Amino acid sequence: MTVQSTKLEQIIIHGNADILLEYSQQLGRQAAGEDLGRTQIRNIYGMVKKFQAKSNRDYQQLKLLIFKLKYAAAREKSLNTLVDALCEGIILVAENEIYFKNFANFFEAIVAYHYVASEEKKQQAHKHQNQSRNRRR
């Protein structure tokens, strides 16, 4: 069992909020560091939200998301780490409503941390650009 598997079990099966925050921050920041765009992560998140909005959830449909995620990762290498975690999370969900809710919360936290890290990265780049301009003067 990998560290990732252990963390995902703690998050999805046991609802451990501390590990959820820690691991989602790690994945969100890593995805931002790999220049994963907001649109890309939002598209994947949209698939999960669409499933969440259904009143009659067919968990086999959730498992089919794994193929869509793997396809997206094959096209965009910066998605690999995130997709691996999400696919493993989907498998852990099985057909348990509480596990799915924990999974959805985990993914929402990843999206939030990705946004924050992307903004910080943008601000750093802007600051560096301004410093470079000032040195040339």
Q: Cα–Cα distance between 28 and 21 in angstroms, integer?
A: 10
Q: Is residue 97 a contact partner of residue 56, using CB atoms and an 8 Å limit? A: no
Domain ranges, residue 124? 3-136
Q: Is residue 98 a contact partner of residue 14, using CB atoms and an 8 Å limit? A: no
Q: What is the pLDDT of residues 83-102, one digit of tens each?
A: 999 999 999 998 899 999 99
Number of independent structural domains in the chain: 1
pTM, 2 dp: 0.86
Q: What is the pLDDT of residues 16-46, one digit of tens each?
A: 999 999 999 999 999 888 878 888 888 889 9
